[in-house]
């Protein structure tokens, strides 16, 4: 038995340099980049743009695979079954964290390795241009003087956008029951409903409403950021309007991997991502897509994910969401 142990130790010592060399050479073959969405959406487009830059840097293709279904269930299942060797990574958003606490409870933030945060998108409140609501003050007054009269459109209950509204409402002194939250299949659908007058307001992102604002069909009355965004310079922040909501709550986009990835491989991917986001091509893409640059490496991204998870759990408890 002692002889077997000795041989095993010797073998592991001989293999260690080989493993280290393999990791140093990473990647030596294509990397699978799994998405939870169908082709053509914002997450898909961003992943494909980023993959081009990562291939230039790391000299191997990053192959985007669309695996939609179950708010990330299909994607998570495929990622969870992959070898944690760096050759399978996946897109992640704040909505995933919400799903982990609701429909995907077999997973949690510790089920995966958090590699890099790519960007954030601030939430905003938009109304039809014909609406008498001109500001957040107007919205608050309507919600509190006529409870239930205001319909707020957004993604599903318990999504990042829904929680963003609840954070705003609490900071503004609007009881949750005073505004009717109407869920749609996507944020884009919620914006369309507001354009059609089916809702009095919607929680959305800059990129989804900018063209409608420029055409005069919609009006943004407040944005959940510390400073005004360059794409909508005339729109005041919530804070400017006396609403001190937590601006750290934003839609996040990032990259995760299977649990147990080597630290040096995570660091190598993160470093390549950080450099890719500085290229003229990605800078231009962020600008045209109204994304905020918000890179974080593995340690900071892991901490941020856990913070967001804690906020999600607290909000679910407050709202009675199980």
**pTM tops 0.75:** yes
Kindly provide the b/e burial profile for residues 234-272, where b requires at least 16 CB atoms within 10 angstroms of the residue's own CB: ebebbbeeebebebebbbbbbbbbbeebbeebbbbbbeb
Model pLDDT, residue 230: 86
> What's the average model confidence in pLDDT over 89-118?
95
For the chain, what is the mean pLDDT?
91
> What's the average model confidence in pLDDT over 141-154?
96
> What's the average model confidence in pLDDT over 196-213?
94
**13, pLDDT greater than 80:** no
Model pLDDT, residue 288: 85
Helix (H, G, I), strand (E, B) or coil at 203: strand
Structure tokens at 52: 């081009």
Q: Is 180 exposed, middle or buried (0-12, 13-18, 19+ CB in 10 A)?
A: middle
Q: Higher-confidence residue: 114 or 315?
A: 114
Do the domains 29-120+251-319 and 124-241 sit in the same CATH topology, yes or no?
A: yes
Structure tokens at 162: 């829904």
Kindly provide the b/e burial profile for residues 154-176, where b requires at least 16 CB atoms within 10 angstroms of the residue's own CB: bbbebbbbbbbbbbbbbbbebee
Q: May I ask the CATH class of domain 29-120+251-319? A: alpha beta
Give me the sheet containing 62-66, strands edge to edge. 62-66, 31-35, 88-93, 251-258, 112-121, 292-296
Distances (CA, A) of 25 to 60, 83, 162, 189, 246: 11, 17, 44, 45, 42
CB 195 within 8 A of CB 212: yes
**1, pLDDT greater than 50:** no
Q: How would residue 10 be classed by pLDDT, with cut points 50, 70 and 90?
A: low
Q: May I ask the CATH class of domain 124-241? A: alpha beta
Of the candidates 258, 276, 265, 304, the one whose C-alpha atom is nearest the C-alpha of residue 113 is 258
Q: Higher-confidence residue: 13 or 306?
A: 306
* Domain regions of the chain by residue span: 29-120+251-319, 124-241
Q: What pLDDT, in 10s, does the model give residues 58-74?
A: 999 999 999 998 889 99
Cα(5)–Cα(71) distance, integer angstroms: 46
């Amino acid at each position: 038995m002692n002889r077997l142990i000795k041989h095993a130790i010797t073998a592991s010592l001989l293999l260690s340099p080989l493993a280290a060399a393999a990791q140093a050479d990473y990647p030596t073959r294509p990397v699978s980049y799994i998405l939870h969405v169908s082709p053509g959406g914002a997450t898909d487009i961003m992943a494909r743009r980023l993959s081009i830059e990562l291939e230039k840097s790391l000299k191997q293709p990053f192959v985007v695979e669309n695996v939609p279904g179950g708010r990330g269930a299909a994607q998570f299942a495929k990622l969870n079954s992959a070898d944690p060797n760096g050759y399978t990574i996946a897109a992640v958003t704040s909505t995933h964290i919400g799903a982990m606490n609701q429909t995907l409870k077999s997973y949690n933030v510790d089920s995966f390795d958090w590699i890099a945060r790519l960007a954030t998108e601030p939430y905003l409140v938009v109304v039809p241009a014909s609406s008498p609501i001109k500001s957040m003050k107007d919205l608050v007054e309507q919600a509190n003087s006529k409870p239930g009269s205001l319909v707020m459109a957004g993604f599903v209950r318990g999504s990042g956008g829904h929680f963003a509204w609840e954070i705003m409402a609490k900071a503004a002194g609007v009881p949750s029951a005073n505004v009717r939250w109407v869920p749609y299949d996507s944020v884009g659908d919620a914006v369309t409903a507001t354009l059609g007058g089916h809702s009095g307001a919607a929680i959305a992102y800059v990129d989804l409403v900018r063209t409608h604002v420029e055409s005069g069909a919609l009006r943004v009355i407040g944005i959940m950021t510390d400073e005004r965004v360059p794409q909508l310079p005339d729109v005041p922040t919530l804070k400017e309007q006396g609403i001190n909501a937590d601006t750290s709550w934003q839609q996040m986009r990032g990259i995760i991997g299977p649990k147990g990835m080597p630290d040096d491989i995570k660091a190598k991917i993160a470093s390549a991502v950080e450099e890719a986001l500085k290229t003229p091509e990605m800078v231009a893409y962020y600008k045209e897509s109204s994304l905020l640059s918000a890179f974080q490496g593995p340690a900071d991204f892991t901490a941020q994910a856990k913070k967001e998870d804690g906020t999600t759990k607290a909000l679910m408890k407050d709202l009675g969401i199980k």
